[in-house]
Chains A and B, each alone.
Chain A
Amino acid sequence: MAAKPTTQDSFLSRLLHNQILIPLAALLLLAVFNLIADPSFFKISLGHNSNGDPVLSGYLITIIDYGSELAILAIGMTLVTAASGGQDISVGATIAISGSVLLRVLCGTDTRPEVLHSPIIVAFLVSLLAAMLCGAFNGALVAFFKIQPMVATLILFTAGRSIAAWVNNNELPMITEARFSYFGGYIPGIPIPTPFFIAILVFIATWALLKFTNLGLYVQSVGINEKTARLNGLNPEIIKLGTYVLLGVCVAVAGLIKVSRLSTINYSVIAKDIEMDAILAVALGGNALSGGKFNMSTSVLGAYVIQFLTTTLYKFDVQSDALSAYKAVVVIILVVISAPTVREKTSAFFRKLRTPDGAAKRG
Chain B
Amino acid sequence: MNENSLLEMRGIYKSFPGVKALQNVDLTLREGEIMALMGENGAGKSTLIKVLTGVHVKDSGDIFIKGHKDAVQIRSPQEAQQVGISTVYQEISLCPNLSVAENIFIGRGEGRMVNWKNINQRTKTLLDSLGIAVDPTRQLGSCSIAVQQMVAIARAVDMECSVLILDEPTSSLDESETEKLFGLMRDLKARGVGMIFVTHFLDQVYEVCDRITVLRDGQLVGEYDIAEMPRVQLVSKMLGKEVDDMADIKNDSPSFSAKDSTPLYEAKALCSNQGIKPFDFHLRKGEVNGFTGLLGSGRSECVRAIFGADKVTGGTVRMEGKEVNINKPIDAMKNGIAYLPEDRKRDGIIGDLSVRENIILALQVKKGFFKPFSRAEAEKFADEYIKLLDIKTASTNTPIKSLSGGNQQKVILGRWLLTHPKYLILDEPTRGIDVGTKVDIQKLVLKLASEGMSVTFISSETDEMLRTCSRLLVMRDRRLVGELTGDQLTQNTIMNTIAGGESNGG
A–B touch (CB < 8 A): the answer is yes
B366 close to A1 (CB less than 8 A): no
Of the stretches A70-78, A210-218, A308-316, A351-359, the one at the interface is A210-218
A228 close to B369 (CB less than 8 A): no
Of A1, A218, A224, A231, most B-chain CB atoms within 10 Å: A231
Inter-chain CA distance A308–B357, complex, in Å, is 36
B309 close to A231 (CB less than 8 A): yes
Whether a CB of chain A sits under 8 angstroms from the CB of B333 is yes
By beta carbon, the residue of chain A nearest B366 is A233
Would you list which residues of chain A between 24 and 38 have a CB under 8 Å from chain B?
A: none
> What's the least CB distance linking A47 to chain B, in Å?
45
Task: Point out the residue from B307, B330, B404 that lies within 8 Å of A3, measured CB to CB.
Answer: B404
A3 close to B333 (CB less than 8 A): no
Task: Point out the residue from A231, A234, A293 that lies within 8 Å of B347, measured CB to CB.
Answer: A231
> What's the least CB distance linking A82 to chain B, in Å?
11
Task: Point out the residue from A213, A227, A228, A231 that lies within 8 Å of B372, measured CB to CB.
Answer: A213
Across-interface contacts of A212 in B (CB, < 8 A): 370, 372
Inter-chain CA distance A214–B350, complex, in Å, is 15
Contact count band on B: 35 or more
Task: Point out the residue from B352, B365, B370, B394 that lies within 8 Å of A220, measured CB to CB.
Answer: B352
B329 close to A224 (CB less than 8 A): no
Q: Per-residue 0/1 for A221-262: is the Cβ within 8 Å of any B Cβ (1 yes, 0 no)?
A: 100110111111111000000000000000000000000000
A217 close to B329 (CB less than 8 A): no
A224 close to B353 (CB less than 8 A): yes
Whether a CB of chain A sits under 8 angstroms from the CB of B349 is yes
Whether a CB of chain B sits under 8 angstroms from the CB of A86 is no
A3 close to B350 (CB less than 8 A): no
Whether a CB of chain A sits under 8 angstroms from the CB of B403 is yes
Whether a CB of chain A sits under 8 angstroms from the CB of B407 is yes
Across-interface contacts of B361 in A (CB, < 8 A): 217, 221, 232
Q: Per-residue 0/1 for A133-161: is the Cβ within 8 Å of any B Cβ (1 yes, 0 no)?
A: 00000000000000000000000000000
B392 close to A3 (CB less than 8 A): yes
> What's the least CB distance linking B379 to chain A, in Å?
15
Whether a CB of chain B sits under 8 angstroms from the CB of A2 is yes
Whether a CB of chain A sits under 8 angstroms from the CB of B339 is yes
Would you list which residues of chain B between 117 and 153 have a CB under 8 Å from chain A?
A: none
A218 close to B349 (CB less than 8 A): no
Task: Point out the residue from B352, B362, B366, B407 that lies within 8 Å of A224, measured CB to CB.
Answer: B352
Of B347, B370, B393, most A-chain CB atoms within 10 Å: B347
Whether a CB of chain A sits under 8 angstroms from the CB of B341 is yes
Inter-chain CA distance A29–B307, complex, in Å, is 54
Task: Point out the residue from A5, A225, A231, A292 that lies within 8 Å of B394, measured CB to CB.
Answer: A5
B364 close to A214 (CB less than 8 A): yes
A3 close to B309 (CB less than 8 A): no
Q: Per-residue 0/1 for B196-219: is the Cβ within 8 Å of any A Cβ (1 yes, 0 no)?
A: 000000000000000000000000
Inter-chain CA distance A230–B329, complex, in Å, is 7
Given A3-B403, A213-B370, A228-B347, A293–B365 Cβ distance below 8 Å?
no
Across-interface contacts of B347 in A (CB, < 8 A): 225, 227-228, 231
Inter-chain CA distance A227–B329, complex, in Å, is 11
Whether a CB of chain B sits under 8 angstroms from the CB of A43 is no
Across-interface contacts of A5 in B (CB, < 8 A): 394
Across-interface contacts of B404 in A (CB, < 8 A): 1, 3
Of A4, A213, A227, A232, most B-chain CB atoms within 10 Å: A232
B394 close to A4 (CB less than 8 A): yes
> What's the least CB distance linking B108 to chain A, in Å?
34
Q: Per-residue 0/1 for B297-333: is the Cβ within 8 Å of any A Cβ (1 yes, 0 no)?
A: 0000000000101000000000000000000111001
Whether a CB of chain A sits under 8 angstroms from the CB of B346 is yes
B364 close to A231 (CB less than 8 A): no
Given A212-B372, A213-B370, A218-B369, A233–B350 Cβ distance below 8 Å?
no
> What's the least CB distance linking A300 to chain B, in Å?
21
Inter-chain CA distance A233–B361, complex, in Å, is 9
> What's the least CB distance linking A165 to chain B, in Å?
38
Across-interface contacts of A233 in B (CB, < 8 A): 328-330, 333, 362, 365-366
By beta carbon, the residue of chain A nearest B365 is A233
> What's the least CB distance linking B302 to chain A, in Å?
16
Across-interface contacts of B307 in A (CB, < 8 A): 231
Across-interface contacts of A2 in B (CB, < 8 A): 394, 402
Whether a CB of chain A sits under 8 angstroms from the CB of B437 is no
A293 close to B353 (CB less than 8 A): yes
Across-interface contacts of A293 in B (CB, < 8 A): 352-353
B329 close to A214 (CB less than 8 A): no
> What's the least CB distance linking B155 to chain A, in Å?
31
B353 close to A231 (CB less than 8 A): no
> What's the least CB distance linking A246 to chain B, in Å?
13
Inter-chain CA distance A293–B400, complex, in Å, is 13
Task: Point out the residue from A1, A10, A221 that lies within 8 Å of B353, measured CB to CB.
Answer: A221
Across-interface contacts of A225 in B (CB, < 8 A): 346-347, 349-351
Inter-chain CA distance A214–B367, complex, in Å, is 10
Whether a CB of chain A sits under 8 angstroms from the CB of B398 is yes
Inter-chain CA distance A93–B348, complex, in Å, is 39
Across-interface contacts of B403 in A (CB, < 8 A): 3
> What's the least CB distance linking B252 to chain A, in Å?
33
Task: Point out the residue from A1, A220, A231 that lies within 8 Å of B339, measured CB to CB.
Answer: A231
By beta carbon, the residue of chain A nearest B362 is A232
Would you list which residues of chain B between 355 and 395 have a CB under 8 Å from chain A?
A: 357, 361-362, 364-366, 368-372, 392-394
Across-interface contacts of B339 in A (CB, < 8 A): 231
A221 close to B333 (CB less than 8 A): no
Inter-chain CA distance A220–B356, complex, in Å, is 14
Inter-chain CA distance A345–B157, complex, in Å, is 50
Inter-chain CA distance A215–B339, complex, in Å, is 23
Across-interface contacts of A230 in B (CB, < 8 A): 309, 328-329
Enumerate 7 A-B pairs (CB-CB under 8 Å) in ascending A order: A1-B404, A2-B394, A2-B402, A212-B372, A214-B365, A227-B346, A228-B346
Having A214-B371, A232-B362, A234-B365, one finds 17 other A-B pairs with CB under 8 Å, namely A3-B403, A214-B368, A217-B357, A218-B365, A220-B350, A220-B353, A224-B350, A224-B353, A227-B347, A228-B347, A229-B350, A231-B309, A232-B329, A232-B361, A235-B328, A293-B352, A293-B353
Which residues of A are interface residues toward B (Cβ below 8 A)?
1-5, 10, 211-215, 217-218, 220-221, 224-225, 227-235, 292-293
Report, nearest first, the 6 A-B pairs whose CB atoms are least far apart: A233-B330, A233-B365, A2-B402, A293-B352, A233-B333, A224-B350
Which residues of B are interface residues toward A (Cβ below 8 A)?
307, 309, 328-330, 333, 339, 341, 346-353, 357, 361-362, 364-366, 368-372, 392-394, 398, 402-404, 407, 415
